[in-house]
Copies of this chain bind each other. A is one copy, B any other.
């Protein structure tokens, strides 16, 4: 892994020629979408973003402050076929990063999760099939679809047994893409993301990954709250590495119709992660609290990925060390917290 400092978010990998390419990013004002957009603008791609900016989700106008004026933005819901039909036309690539990602929300409002992770996905795929079937699509899926690991590290052949509605619907989203690939010959590839972190992630509340709210708690001087005993192990990818994987996936014909895990060989337990954050922050408290029952019911325990397949086929591997990525991320929120929770 490389040591990277200030320029971490500008991290550029050998991920093909993007000059003049027309790229649509669904969920483009979100965490990963906006990092990808910035990267593609630097590569001189012609970038269009579509995002519904639902307040509970990851979209944030500030996320694209650095590329405002260099990208086309559509604030629209993917379920609006009239708009989506129009937006997908004449695009070369579609990065499909749109969705609802909060596990607990999906249990409380399963029909809303269905709307965002299934109906919206079908709407987007139908729009592509009817208006631009040659578009190359990369879909961001999630390790959540594996459910409680039967073994670790989890490879792509691991049984799929999601433990929450979000996992069920994300799996359906993945399967829709595979059906459109198989039945209509569309060019689709799928990345199953593990915990992704970095600048522009949603840190406002506990909706998305625990790491987000920990960053906020740390910077606000309140204790980081760990549920359970903190022994659960996880792997993390810095967003720049995920952007690199997305770009490779889109460009490499070897990715067509395939599913790849992302992951990291730096596996830590939650207590170690919290301690690392406190160290990087130069102070802070950690509080071990009982697992809330509703979270415990959908918890997956320890998880980390076997990502050898994408290394073998696309040459991808994570380059950013956890300590460097976290330092960069903390620094970002120290400077920009007003944009994310105040």
Q: Within 8 Å CB of A176, what residues of B?
A: 110, 165, 168
1/0 per residue, CB under 8 A from B, across A34-70: the answer is 0000000000000000000000000000000000000
The residue on B at minimum CB distance from A166 is B179
Contact of A182 among B169, B175, B184, B297 (CB under 8 A): B297
- Please give the residue numbers on chain A whose beta carbons come within 8 Å of chain B beta carbons, in ascending order: 107, 110-111, 114, 118-119, 122-123, 126, 157, 159-165, 167-169, 171-172, 175-176, 178-179, 182-184, 297-298
Once the chains bind, are B107 and A111 in contact (CB under 8 Å)? Answer: no
Q: How far is the CA of A230 from the CA of B298 in the complex (A)?
A: 46
- CB of A225, distance to nearest CB on chain B (Å): 22
Taking a contact as CB atoms under 8 Å apart, the answer to whether B107 and A183 are in contact is yes
A169 to B169, CA, bound (A): 9
Q: Do B298 and A183 touch across chains, with their CB atoms under 8 A apart?
A: yes
Q: How far is the CB of A109 from chain B (nearest CB, A)?
A: 10
Find A175's partner among B114, B126, B171 (CB 8 Å cutoff): B171
Question: In the complex, are the beta carbons of B297 and A184 less than 8 A apart?
Answer: yes
Listed by A's residue number, 16 A-B pairs whose Cβ atoms lie within 8 Å are A107-B183, A157-B159, A159-B159, A160-B160, A164-B183, A165-B176, A165-B179, A167-B179, A168-B172, A168-B176, A171-B172, A172-B172, A179-B298, A182-B297, A183-B297, A184-B297
Residues of chain B with a CB closer than 8 A to A184's CB:
297
Q: Report how far A179 CA is from B108 CA in the complex, Å.
A: 13
A161 to B162, CA, bound (A): 15
Point out the residues of chain B lying under 8 angstroms from A164, CB to CB. 179, 183
In the assembled complex, which residues on chain B have CB atoms less than 8 Å from the CB atom of A298? 179, 183
B118 touches A122 (CB 8 A): no
A119 to B172, CA, bound (A): 13
Most-contacted residue by chain B among A107, A165, A167 (CB, 10 A) = A165
Q: Assess the B165–A178 pair: CB atoms within 8 A.
A: no
Rounded to whole angstroms, the CA-CA distance of A162 and B167 in the bound complex is 17
Question: Nearest-CB distance from A184 to chain B (Å)?
Answer: 7
- Give min CB distance, A7 to chain B, whole Å: 42
CA distance A165 to B178 in the complex (A): 10
> Which residues on the B side are within 8 Å of A123 (C-beta)?
111
Min CB gap A292→B, angstroms: 13
Using Cβ atoms and an 8 Å threshold, which residues of chain B touch A297? 182-184
Question: In the complex, which residues of chain B have a beta carbon less than 8 angstroms from the beta carbon of A169?
Answer: 172
Residues from chain B with Cβ under 8 Å of A107 in the complex: 183
Q: Nearest CB to that of A294 among chain B residues? A: B183
The chain B residue sitting closest to A177, CB to CB, is: B168
